[in-house]
Structure 1
Amino acid sequence: MYTDANDLRVSEMLELSYRLWEKHSNSWSPMEPEYAKSFILYMIEEIGESIAIIKKKGEKNIMNDLKVREHFIEELCDVLMYFMDVLNRFHISSQEFSNTYIRKFEHNIGRDYEGQYKRLK
């Protein structure tokens, strides 16, 4: 199922998202674009839970307390799971996502953020 469980690929995460949905398809919303908005909201909620751990436990505990760290990583995984649900609902393939991600990275690596923000003032 996974090429390497220690380093999941986007295509594998999309597949896992779809498999989980298939198991619950009789009670979960369809994998269609009109339902993606709700999953973005769920994703934001999970980001909030991640932030709460940072606020309540602090960065040092996330780095040094295994239980806190595991909980923090679990919340970040929830964020990614909902993100994959959004990609699946918009039928965005791993290739489409990966190509756009690299293109955006290449744009950002050449950006002058400081100069760009100075021009906004």
Structure 2
Amino acid sequence: MAHFDFEKMQTIQKELQAKYKEKWTPMEPQYAKDKLLYMFIEAGEMADIIKKQGDESIMQDMPVREHFIEEMCDTLMYLNDVMLCYGISPEELEEVYLKKHEKNMKRW
């Protein structure tokens, strides 16, 4: 996969949301906090793998690494859900991200 970015991720999330629209909450601002909480849970699962398996396992044990990356994907999926709930486009994210990067480059 040569190019995988937030635009592609949001397209995938919209596809998933459409498939389960009868079962899942809609991508609206009032549901963003739930998505954010789920994102924190998934990030916690990543931290749990680091704690229990260790850095070396993540780097060298392929099943552990795949599980870690899967939890990372879950975290990114929920981040994209939050973005979709608030109508944040990949272009808007990029613009603010680059401004923040520039600001951080000038910090010290």
- Sort the TM-score into its range (normalised by shorter chain): over 0.9
The residue that corresponds to 1:46 in the other structure is: 42
For 1:31, the aligned partner's letter is M
- Structure 1's unaligned 5+ residue stretches are 113-121
TM-score, normalised via structure 2 length:
0.96
In 2: Cα distance, 1:28 partner to 1:7 partner: 29
TM-score when normalising by structure 1:
0.86
- SS state at 2:46 partner: helix
Q: Does 1:63 align with 2:63?
A: no
In structure 1, what is the Cα distance between the partners aligned to 2:101 and 2:32? 25
Gaps of 5+ in 2: none
Aligned identity (percent) is 44
Counterpart selection for 2:13 from 17, 36, 47:
17
Aligned to 1:116: none
Runs of 4+ in 1 over 4 A off after TM superposition: none
Distance 1:21 1:88 in 2: 11
Report the AA paired with residue 68 of structure 2: F
Cα distance in 2 for residues equivalent to 1:21 and 1:102: 29
Larger-Rg structure: 1
Residue of structure 2 in register with 1:99 after alignment: 95
